[in-house]
Structures are given as structure tokens and as C-alpha cells.
Amino acid sequence: MATQTLIYLFVGATFALYIGIALWTRAGSTSEYYVASKGVHPVLNGMATGADWMSAASFISMAGIIAFAGYDGSVYLMGWTGGYVLLAMCLAPYLRKFGKFTVPDFIGERYYSKAARLVAVVCVIFISFTYVAGQMRGVGIVFSRYLEVSIETGVVIGMAIVFFYSVLGGMKGITYTQVAQYCVMIFAYMVPAIYVSMMITGNPIPQLGFGSEVSGTGQSVVERLNGLGAELGFTAYTDGSKSMTDMFFITMALMVGTAGLPHVIVRFFTTPTVRDARKSAGYALLFIAILYTTAPALAAFARTNLLSSVPNASYQELPSWFKTWENAGLIGWMDKNNDGIIQYGPGAAFAGKPEFTGERGENGERLLKNPATPAETELYVDNDIMVLANPEIANLPGWVIALIAAGGLAAALSTAAGLLLVISTSISHDLLKSTLRPNISEKGELLAARLAAGVAVVVAGLFGIYPPGFVAQVVAFAFGLAAASFFPAIVMGIFSKKMNKEGAIAGMVVGLAFTFSYIVYFKFINPTATAADWWFGISPEGIGTLGMLFNFAAAVIVAKLTSAPPERIQHLVEDIRVPRGAGAAIDH
């Protein structure tokens, strides 16, 4: 069967599965819509959390980042997985015991303030829309390559699918859909990894193959990769370019950002008991670790294959997959010295992502603009190609290519659905029910939630079709802002009886304002700044850690200068921390 036919079959079958689950699990109450009636088994919740967390960035981009950044790419593995340990130990059980629906719900009740709740709602909406824009764009890119439609058409199709099961099913429908999506994406990720590991090292376990010898060379995978890079003028794969300070701050920002992301936290409100919340966090870490421990191996295998498949050669000698992905805009070549040969060397080939001029060169290649000067490299390779194109680079069967297409779409759609639900619940429950219209009926609140989800899907789709400038920096924004805003407020809300509403609001505003300003300045106003221009050598990707520290400092200072929280709030904090995790959660 032709590869394209297999792609249509695999993608169509998975979409039919998601829609069928949504029809089977449609929500009939606000409790089902917001938290799936708090009845999700911890194993299933762990799988759904894994799917919710493993977005297009994890599935498509992370291995590509590691493939090209080498040692520096390890910050993503340490930060994102470490965040789940932090979440499981310090936050999830206590938040579940508190018994509310959303993160702004916790902030508003714990800090006895509508103002605090509104600040939290603003944070949720900004972080979630920032994140979901990248997911919708990822859906469009995968559709564009595999289903042979435009990116805009791909985004619209993705909008329709997400709209159906998020608006109809709410958290109940999304949870069971994400369980199915986790199974699809982890199978799609592991099958090519196992195939390629066998081809390169003879070992079927990618994690072990990563430490094995490349067949017939007598060199380990990393030694082989370092050697290939040195031959072409690149720095060693195992060498890093970032300072230890910056590595620490980026890792910490990703870690506490993970623990503060609202669409991740809300998953732990869906379990029956506090003990189950802790268990589901452990299961989620296990399910996520399957992909995250495979990513470094897949990155090394894919880069080895790429450097071996695209040598210093003429355009006519390139394999067919190169020209396929060239048309998708994820790989490109500019013949800077007009010798007809693809040149490798240190430095990026282009200043940012190159733009296609719409014309072809003498060799038939796409003519690009926006070249980096000076640079010896003529080849542009997008990070996303390393996972998506890996089966084609390795010449794997057509059904594996179709599986990757289904997995990439599952990763982007699962996270998009979780983020859109968080946006809709924040608007309907925290803004409407808890602030503007406290007397609204449950039926009216459920209708408002669905309308908000529908509007959010449309806005997210527009961001995917007309991406604003910040989409490319989604990690820096989403994780930095979550680290600098929610994490301190949640931690102090659980572990400090003396933290009051004035301190929490001041901390969130200071952390948010500082982190947002720093990222905007160094990403957009002064993007050419070097490490010497950064505060203490901290990059914009890691500044959320400093914003978090400013949040803590401002909150503590303001709390000391203002009145203590009411007695009932102090008793509430004590009750949250009482170790009664084995029993049913107590709603307050």
C-alpha cells in the first residue's frame, strides 16, 4: 500500500477514535466538565497527564533541539522531568485536598480575594494562549507535510477536531481522549526509535543503543557523532556553549514552570482521593520518562543519519526525502559560493528561519533569503525535522511514516485541548461564576464554559494561521511566566500561614512584570544582545527563575508590612497539610 494512503488511514482512524470517545464521555454537569467528577483512576490520569504535557514541543521539537544543541539540550530533559517530581512531592496532593476546580480557584480562595483571582485568571489566559498558539501551528505543519494541504487548512481541520471533543466532553471527554492519544503518540515515538537503534547499533532498546557502538565502526554513538561533526567543522556534540549559571537558571525555570503550568496542575483535581493524586503524578512521571529517556538516543541517531545522508554533495545527489521536506519549508540549501556543492561549517546558515522566495535556483533548489553572514554553512535544518523526517531519512517502511504523522498530531491536539479547557474554565468558573455573576445556574455556567471553549478554539486557530512574533519563543514565555507568577503563590499558599492576599498579589505582579519585560526586551527590542548584556549572564529562557525569586521577595516583604490572614485561612492552610492522604479529599 502506498505511504500516502497509509497516512490517510492512520490519521483518519485516530481522529475517528477521538470523536467516538468524545461522544461516549460527553459531560452533563459542571463537575464532569471541569474535573471529570473527580473520578479518574490514577493510572488513566497519569496517561492523560502524560499526553497533556507531551506537546508538539516534546514529541516533535525536543529531540531536534538536543540533536543540534548537544549537551546544552539537556536542560529540557532535566527541567521538564524534574518539574514533575516537584509537582508530585510538593503541590499535587495538597491542591487535590483543597478540592477546587482550577488554579485561579485555589488562588482566590486561599488568598480570600477577588483581585488575586483576577490576576490568576489573567496569568492563565496569557500563558495558555501563548502555549496553544504553538500547538495549533504544529498541527498545521504536520497536516501540511503529511496530508498535502496548506498549513492554514491543517489548522482549521485541527480546530474542528479539538472543538468537537473539548466543547462536548469537557474534562471528562478530554481525559479519556488523551489516554488514547498517549497510546498513539508513545507507540509512534518508540517504533522508529527501536528501528533506528537496531539499524545503527544492533540493540533494540534505544536507551541502551545510545551507549553502544555503531555497527562496523568500533566507535560509540557519541564518538561517531563527534567525529562526523569535527569532519564538517562543527563543535563536538558533547561540548556545551552555555555557562553553568545559565544552565542552572534555565533548568530551574523549566522545572518550576512545569510545576506552575495551569493545564498540568488541573489534572490532579480529577482523581478520587489525595492518595490517588500522588499516585497519578508518579504514573505520569513514569509514562513521560519513556519518551524523555528515548529522546537523547533518537536525537543522536537522527543526527548521525542526517550527516551521513546529506554529505558534501551536489543537489542532484541528495536523497528524495530531502526535496520532500524542502517543499515543507523545514530544510533548505543556499549555494553561497556558487560551486553547486552543499557546504558544512561552523555557524548557522541563516539568520533565523529562512524565507522561500518562490523561485528555483540553477540546481533546482528552493531559493531562500535571510542568509547569515558570514557563515560557512549552506544548509538550513529545522529542529522539527529530526523526529518527523527520521523514518524517511532511515528509509523505514511506509507504515512507520504514517504512524509518526498520527503521533505528531496526537501530541499537538492533546495539549491544545487541555489548554483550551483551562481557558474556558477560567472564564466561566473563575471570572463569571466566582466574580461577575455568582448567582448563575449550573446549566448557565456549563453553557458559558462551552461558549468560552468555542471562542478559545477560534482564537487559538487564528494564532496558528497568523502566528504572532512570540510563538517561536513559546517556551521562554510560558515557562518563565508560570515560574514567576503561579509557583511562588501556590507554594506559599500551601506552606505559609502568614502569607496574605496583599503579599501574594504583589509577588505575582512583580514576578510577572519583571519576567515579561526581560523576555520582551531581549527577544524583540534588542534580540542581538549577547550573554555579556544579560543580567548576571542569565538568558531570557532562564529569567523566570530570577522572576520567581523576586516574586518570593516581594510577597514576603509586603506580607510583613500588612495584616495577617484571617484565622479561618490559617486553619485552612493547617488542614491542607495534615497527612490524611489515604482518605477522601475534603472540599472546603
Task: Please give the backbone phi and psi of residue 444, each rounded to the nearest 5 degrees, phi first.
Answer: -65, -40
Range of lowest pLDDT (140-154, 204-218, 470-484): 470-484
What pLDDT does 232 receive? 56
The arithmetic mean of pLDDT across residues 564-577, rounded, is 87
User: 407 pLDDT exceeds 70?
Assistant: yes
DSSP state of 149: -
User: 33 pLDDT exceeds 80?
Assistant: no
- With cell 553572514, the residue in question is 373
Which of 369-373, 445-449, 560-564 reaches the highest mean pLDDT?
A: 560-564
The arithmetic mean of pLDDT across residues 321-332, rounded, is 79
The enclosing H or E element of 369 equals: strand 366-371
Instruction: Name the residue among 64, 58, 55 with its Cα closest to residue 301.
Output: 64
Which of 1-5, 228-232, 324-328, 470-474 reaches the highest mean pLDDT?
A: 1-5
User: 476 pLDDT exceeds 70?
Assistant: no
Cell of 58: 516534546
- For 225-238, give the secondary structure using H, E and C: HHHHHHHCCCCCCC
Instruction: Name the residue among 8, 135, 133 with its Cα closest to residue 61.
Output: 135
Euclidean distance between CA atoms 458 and 416, whole angstroms: 12
**Which sign, positive or negative, has the C-alpha torsion 436, 442, 443, 447?**
positive
What pLDDT does 409 receive? 82
pTM for this entry = 0.82
Mean pLDDT of the residues in the chain = 81
My answer on whether omega of the bond before 374 falls inside 30° of 0, hence cis, is yes
Task: Please give the backbone phi and psi of residue 242, each rounded to the nearest 5 degrees, phi first.
Answer: -85, 150
Instruction: Name the residue among 455, 412, 482 with its Cα closest to residue 120.
Output: 482
In angstroms, how far is CA 516 from the centroid of its own chain?
19
**pLDDT digits 0-9 by tens, 138-184:** 777 777 777 777 778 888 888 888 777 677 667 777 888 888 889 99
What pLDDT does 547 receive? 94
- With cell 502566528, the residue in question is 467
pLDDT higher for 279 or 134? 279
Euclidean distance between CA atoms 548 and 570, whole angstroms: 24
Q: Is 42 exposed, middle or buried (0-12, 13-18, 19+ CB in 10 A)?
A: buried
Residue 553 pLDDT grade (very low, low, confident, very high; cuts 50, 70, 90): very high
454 close to 469: Cβ distance less than 8 angstroms = no
User: 447 pLDDT exceeds 90?
Assistant: no
366 close to 332: Cβ distance less than 8 angstroms = yes
- With cell 514529541, the residue in question is 59
Q: Is 393 exposed, middle or buried (0-12, 13-18, 19+ CB in 10 A)?
A: buried
User: 78 pLDDT exceeds 70?
Assistant: yes
The arithmetic mean of pLDDT across residues 211-217, rounded, is 81
Q: Is 50 exposed, middle or buried (0-12, 13-18, 19+ CB in 10 A)?
A: buried
DSSP state of 435: I
Give percent of the chain with pLDDT exceeding 90.
13
Is the backbone of residue 525 left (phi > 0), alpha (psi -120 to 50) or beta?
A: alpha
Cβ-based neighbours of 271, under 8 Å, separated by 6 or more? 38, 40, 42, 45, 96, 277, 279, 280
What pLDDT does 236 receive? 63
What pLDDT does 471 receive? 44
Cβ-based neighbours of 317, under 8 Å, separated by 6 or more? none
**Which sign, positive or negative, has the C-alpha torsion 267, 271, 277, 279?**
negative
**pLDDT digits 0-9 by tens, 524-535:** 788 788 888 899
Euclidean distance between CA atoms 9 and 573, whole angstroms: 53
Instruction: Name the residue among 270, 24, 13, 12 with its Cα closest to residue 168.
Output: 24
17 close to 413: Cβ distance less than 8 angstroms = no
Range of lowest pLDDT (227-231, 265-269, 315-319, 555-559): 227-231
* Structural domain boundaries in the chain: 3-305+396-577, 309-383
Cell of 514: 519583571
Residue 231 pLDDT grade (very low, low, confident, very high; cuts 50, 70, 90): low
What pLDDT does 178 receive? 86
291 close to 186: Cβ distance less than 8 angstroms = yes
- With cell 563527534, the residue in question is 226
460 close to 133: Cβ distance less than 8 angstroms = yes
Q: Which amino acid appears at position 563 of this protein?
A: S
Residue 586 pLDDT grade (very low, low, confident, very high; cuts 50, 70, 90): very low
Residue 478 pLDDT grade (very low, low, confident, very high; cuts 50, 70, 90): confident
Torsion of CA 120, 112, 498, 587, to 10 degrees: -90
User: 326 pLDDT exceeds 50?
Assistant: yes
Cβ-based neighbours of 14, under 8 Å, separated by 6 or more? 180, 181, 184, 406, 409, 410
Cβ-based neighbours of 344, under 8 Å, separated by 6 or more? 232, 233, 234, 312, 376, 377, 378, 379
Distances (CA, A) of 398 to 140, 394, 429: 21, 11, 46
User: 550 pLDDT exceeds 90?
Assistant: yes
Euclidean distance between CA atoms 432 and 310, whole angstroms: 56
The enclosing H or E element of 332 equals: strand 331-333
Task: Please give the backbone phi and psi of residue 273, each rounded to the nearest 5 degrees, phi first.
Answer: -135, 170
Cell of 525: 527590542
Architecture of the 3-305+396-577 domain: Up-down Bundle (1.20)
